[in-house]
Amino acid sequence: MLRSILCRESRRVEFRVVVLAVFVSLAAVVLPAAADVVVMSNGDWLTGTVVTMDGGELLLETEYAGAVVLDWDKVARVILDRPLPVALADGSRRKVLELPDLEVGLAEVAAIAPPPPEPIGWRGRVDFGWANASGNRNTDLGTLTAFAEQTDPDRYRLSVLLDAAKGSSEGEDTANRARAEGKYDRRAGDGDYRYYLAGLGYDRVRSMDSRLELGTGVGRTLIDRPGHLLTAELGASYVRDDFAAGETQSDAKLRVGEAWQRQLGEGTGLRQSLSLLAATDEWGDYTAEFVLALTHRLSERLALTSRIVNSYDSRPAPGTERNDFTFATQVGVTFGD
């Protein structure tokens, strides 16, 4: 009895092995090795190699019909034999083995196997020239301004600024200041973005040994047309001022800012910005800076800039004025795109 049962079980196992072997053999004949499978919405399926998808058309290379172009809107499923990069409608990229999958739907795919993105380079300008300042010191001085930015229109903007001025008369400093600032804008869509900034500087004439600012907030692009740009920002900053007399001011401040750019003609542009930092515990305590600059391109790489800067501090260091006004004329050399 036991022997009979064992014989029947052995025959069942052999039958299953034979069936599995036949299925694998048929699959090997029907489906070419290393083949991608495209299933259409009408139930048809095609095998071959997915080359690319762009502009709503999927290119499939087959052994039986050569290159076949398929309407992406009529594709129901894509099964790949190796991971391929896809570009999504939101600008991001990832690799997939199947579409759709748990995270990406077919409608979200803008391209399959797109060309690699071009490297994003830096562009900017270095300006140097002469300025006249009034307020804490009435003097002429030399200036240096360097600005560089890296921009991905769909993702972020990274900018770095260095601004310095130096002047002296009869061995005494009439101007001695410098400021470095970095800012990162992360795009959030529909003209909105979040910003992060860090700045460090000093102003010897105003008896300020150092100023540190760390801030974050949100911004919105109000106007974005060719030759015309307007943005507004609202956030919070931590500001620490160390003065030569040993006094230290450290505050959390509300930050409000706006920036405007307008192309006036070929090679000529106007820029204006306003930044306000107000103490959260005393609204009468604030600093503000207004900048207005007119730039005219002299050649492909050279530009002439006239700039007005008005800085105001409602709580200045002892012995210093609240208001500083600077008019500068600078020649700049551009680099990058």
Span 281-305, average pLDDT: 91
Task: With a cut of 70, say whether residue 2 has pLDDT above it.
Answer: no
Give the closest residue to 239 by CA, choosing from 156, 185, 320, 315. Answer: 315
pLDDT of residue 245: 79
User: Which of 13-17, 130-134, 212-216 is most confident?
Assistant: 212-216
**What is the bridge-based pairing of β-strands 123-134 and 109-112?**
unpaired
pLDDT of residue 20: 36
Structural domains of the chain, ranges and CATH numbers in brackets: 31-112 (2.30.30), 123-335 (2.40.160.40)
Matching residue, tokens 């599995």: 20
Q: pLDDT digits over 230-277, tens only?
A: 999 999 999 998 988 788 888 899 999 999 999 998 889 999 999 999
Distance between start and end Cα atoms, the chain: 88
Span 116-123, average pLDDT: 81
What Rg, from alpha-carbon coordinates, does the chain have? 32
